[in-house]
Amino acid sequence: MFKQLKSFVFGSPLDSKSETEERLNVPLGLAIFASDALSSSAYATDEILIALVGIISISSVSNNSNADVGLDLSNLFMCVPVAFAIAFLLAIVVVSYRQVIKAYPGGGGAYTVAKDNLGPSSSLLAAAALLLDYVLTVAVSVCAGIAALTAMFHATTGAQAVIEEHASVGLALLAIVAIAYVNLRGVRESARVIALPAYLFIFCMLSLITVGVFQSIVYQPPQPPVYHGVQIGVEHLAFGLLFFKAFAHGCAALTGIEAVSNGVKAFKEPSVQTANLTMVLMGSLLGVILLGLTYLALVHQIIPVEGDTVVSQIARAVLNKQDVFYYVIQLSTMSILLLAANTSFGGFPRLAMILARDGYLPRQLMNVGDRLVYSNGIVLLASMAAVLVIAFHASVHNLMPMYAIGVFLSFTFAQAGMVARALRAGGTNPDVKGMVINGVGALVTLLVSCLLCLEKLTSGAWIVLISLPMIVFMFRNINRHYETMHHQLAVPSKEYHPQALDHTVLVLVASLNKGVLPALEYAKSISKRVEAVHVELNPEATIQLQKDWEAWGSGIPLTVLKSPFRSLSGPLLKYIDEVDKRHEHDIVTIIIPEIMAKKWWHNLMHNQTAIAIKTMLMFKPGKVVTTIRYHLSE
C-alpha cells in the first residue's frame, strides 16, 4: 500500500537506464539552473538604490506635485555606472566558470576546484559557503515572492498591503513544500513545471525594458511622484566608498551563477558544451535585465519604497497600473522569485552528494531516489530553509544581510583555484589570458566579500561568519568518523586467525503462548546454552508462567528477574551484563518473540516492547538481537 501511495504521489520509479533520458537540454537547463540568477535581477536594482539613497516609508509617498519638501536624489545618477560595473564582474565570473566547467566536467564547482588546487581547508570553506548560500537562496527567494505579491496588492488598493506575519510565513512554507515536491518527482518534470514561468518572466522583463527605453528616447518621461516628509539617512561618505557600497549591495545579482558548474552531469551530452552554452545565455540575460531595469529606475527617478518593489514602480511608470500587462509582469516576477529556489534544489543535493562521496557529509546524501534525484538532499534543503523562514519571520530585509556573502566567497575560491591550476600546469605555454581573467575576478570577488561583511556585519553578516567555521568543523568531524570507521573495519594485512566463540542465547518471555514456542525451538537450534528470561512485572502472571513452563518450556531453564519498580529495562540490561561476564569471548544473542497482526492498524493496539528492547540493546557491543515473529491470521 505504501509503495502504491508513493508511486501515486511522486510518480512511478525510474530505472537506472533512464538517467540519460532525465538529463536536461539548454532550454530546460536554463529554467532549472538560471531561475535564481534571473530572479535576482528583480531585487538587485532595489539593493543598489537602497545603498545610494536609502529606503522610505510608504506613508511618505505622494503624487501631490505641490509638495514643498522634496527628496534629494543627487546620488541616484550613480546607479547606472554601478550596474555596468556589476555587469562587467558578471562577465568575468561567467568566463571563469566556463573554464571551471571545461576543467571539471564531473561537477562540484568551487569545492572541486579548491580541493584540487588550494587544499582541503579552502575547499571545505568553499563548500560550506555554497551550501549555506543555497539554503539562504531558498529562504530569500520565497520571501521575495511574497513581497512581490504584497507590492501588487499595494498597486491595486493604493494602500500598504496588510498581510499578517504568520500568513507570510505560512505562504512561504507552503511554497517551499511545493517546490520540494516538484523536485522529488524528477529533474525533467521539475524543469517542465518551472520552464513556463521562467520564460514568461524573461519575456516580460525584455518587453518592459524595450518599451521603457523606447519611451525614454522618443517621448518625454512622465513626471515622477514627489517623496516628501521623511529624512533619508544617507551617510556623508566619499564618492568612491559610496560607489563600492552600492556595488557590493547590487552584487546580489550574481547569486546562482555557480549552480551550472555544480550540476554539469545533469545536462545532456555533450554535457560540457551544453552547460557552457547555458551559462552564457544566463549571464547575457541577467546582464541585459539588470542594466535595463537600472536605467529605467534612473529615467523615472524611482527609489526603494517600503511595501513596494522597484520592478513594480517601473512597470507602473512605463505602463498604466490598470494595464493587464502590469499584472502579468507582477505575477511573472512573483513566480520567478518563488521558483528561483529551484536553482538551490538543483545545486544543493548534487554538491551534498559530492561532499558525502568524499566523506564530509552523511552517506545517505549519496542515495538516488526512485525518480533519479537525490531525495535526501532535497528534503534536507527544504527543512533548513523552512527553519530560516520561521526564524526570520519571512522577511527579505531580515534575511538579505546574510545573503550573497557565501556565494562570493565561493567565487573567490573557484577563481583563485583556477589561477593556481594554470600556474601549476603552465609549462612553456601558460594560459596568460585565463590567469588574468581569473586573477582579476578573484581579487574583485574577494573585495566584494569583504565589503559585504563590513557593510552588513552588525545587521546579520556575523551569523554567516560564525556559521562557516562551525560547518567546516562539522565536515571534519564527519570525515574523522568515517576515517576511524574505515581504519577499524579494515581487514588486517597479515593472516587472520579467528577465535572460537562461546554462544549464549537468552529468550525473552513475557508469557507462554504459541508465539513463544517457535522462538524456543529456534534458540535450541543455534546453541546448546539457552536460557529463558522473564522480568516480573506482575507476580500473579509470573506464578502462572512458572506452572505452564514445566509442560511447555522444552526443557529450557527459566530465569525470573525481580523488578520492584516495575521497570523492564533496568533488571534486563543488568542481567545481560552478568551473562556476558560468565564466559570469555562470548556472544550473547537475545531472541525476542514478537506478535504481528495482519492489519497494520491492529499493531497500534499492542505494546511495542520488542522495539523498545532492540533500541536499548543497539549500542551494547557483543550483543545480537534476533526477532522471531508470529503472524496472526486475522
Rounded Cα distance between 299 and 302, Å, is 8
Report whether pLDDT(147) > 50.
Answer: yes
The SS3 assignment for 225 reads: coil
Q: Residues 327-332: what's their mean pLDDT? A: 84
Rounded Cα distance between 578 and 599, Å, is 39
pLDDT band at 379 (very low <50, low <70, confident <90, very high): very high
More confident residue, 232 or 92: 92
pLDDT at 187: 62
Rounded Cα distance between 358 and 127, Å, is 12
**Which range is most confident: 240-254, 287-301, 322-336, 360-374?**
287-301
Minimum mean pLDDT among 241-245, 344-348, 470-474, 532-536: which range?
A: 241-245
**What are phi and psi for residue 361, nearest 5 degrees?**
-135, 160
pLDDT band at 10 (very low <50, low <70, confident <90, very high): low
The type of residue at 466 is I
State the DSSP H helix or E strand holding residue 623, giving kind and residue range, or none if neither: strand 623-631
pLDDT at 632: 84
Rounded Cα distance between 345 and 375, Å, is 10
**Which range is most confident: 221-225, 305-309, 363-367?**
363-367
Minimum mean pLDDT among 58-67, 589-598, 611-620: which range?
A: 58-67
Contacts of 376 (CB under 8 A, 6+ apart): 349, 364, 365, 367, 369
pLDDT at 321: 59
More confident residue, 5 or 250: 250
Report whether pLDDT(315) > 50.
Answer: yes
pLDDT in tens, 482-518: 999 888 878 776 776 777 777 889 999 988 888 899 9
Q: What is the DSSP string of 537-588?
A: S-HHHHHHHHHHHHHHSTT--EEEEE-TT--SHHHHHHHHHHHHHHSTTEEE
pLDDT at 361: 93
pLDDT at 11: 59
Report whether pLDDT(59) > 80.
Answer: no
Report whether pLDDT(95) > 90.
Answer: no
502-631 topology per CATH: Rossmann fold (3.40.50)
Report whether pLDDT(79) > 60.
Answer: yes
Q: Residues 450-458: what's their mean pLDDT? A: 78
Rounded Cα distance between 33 and 346, Å, is 7
Rounded Cα distance between 102 and 390, Å, is 40
pLDDT at 228: 42
pLDDT in tens, 390-431: 888 877 777 877 877 888 888 899 889 988 888 887 666 667
Report whether pLDDT(234) > 50.
Answer: no
Torsion angle of alpha carbons 197, 200, 201, 207, nearest 10°?
A: -170
Q: Residues 111-117: what's their mean pLDDT? A: 89
Q: What is the DSSP string of 310-344?
A: HHHHHHHHHS-TTSHHHHHHHHHHHHHHHHTHHHH
- The domain locations on the chain are 28-60+80-224+259-482, 502-631
Q: Does domain 28-60+80-224+259-482 have CATH number 1.20.1740.10?
A: yes
Q: What is the DSSP string of 500-531?
A: P-EEEEEEE-SS-STTTHHHHHHHHHH-SEEE
More confident residue, 236 or 253: 253
Any idea what DSSP says for residue 457? I
Rounded Cα distance between 491 and 501, Å, is 19
pLDDT at 510: 87
More confident residue, 466 or 395: 466
pLDDT band at 161 (very low <50, low <70, confident <90, very high): very low
> How far from chain centre, in Å, is Cα 507?
47
In contact, 587 and 501? CB cutoff 8 Å: yes
Rounded Cα distance between 326 and 332, Å, is 10
Minimum mean pLDDT among 96-110, 226-240, 385-399, 531-545: which range?
A: 226-240
Percent of the chain with pLDDT over 90: 17
Q: Residues 445-452: what's their mean pLDDT? A: 84
Q: Residues 165-173: what's their mean pLDDT? A: 77
**Which range is most confident: 92-96, 303-307, 457-461?**
92-96
Report whether pLDDT(119) > 60.
Answer: yes
Report whether pLDDT(230) > 80.
Answer: no
Mean residue pLDDT of the chain comes to 80
pLDDT in tens, 245-273: 788 778 878 877 887 887 787 788 888 89
pLDDT band at 64 (very low <50, low <70, confident <90, very high): very low
pLDDT at 532: 93
pLDDT in tens, 522-554: 999 988 899 999 998 888 888 888 888 888 888
In contact, 326 and 316? CB cutoff 8 Å: yes
CA atoms within 13 A on the CB side of 192: 6
Percent of the chain with pLDDT over 70: 83
Rounded Cα distance between 440 and 534, Å, is 75
More confident residue, 603 or 68: 603
What is the number of other CB atoms lying within 10 angstroms of the CB of residue 211? Answer: 15
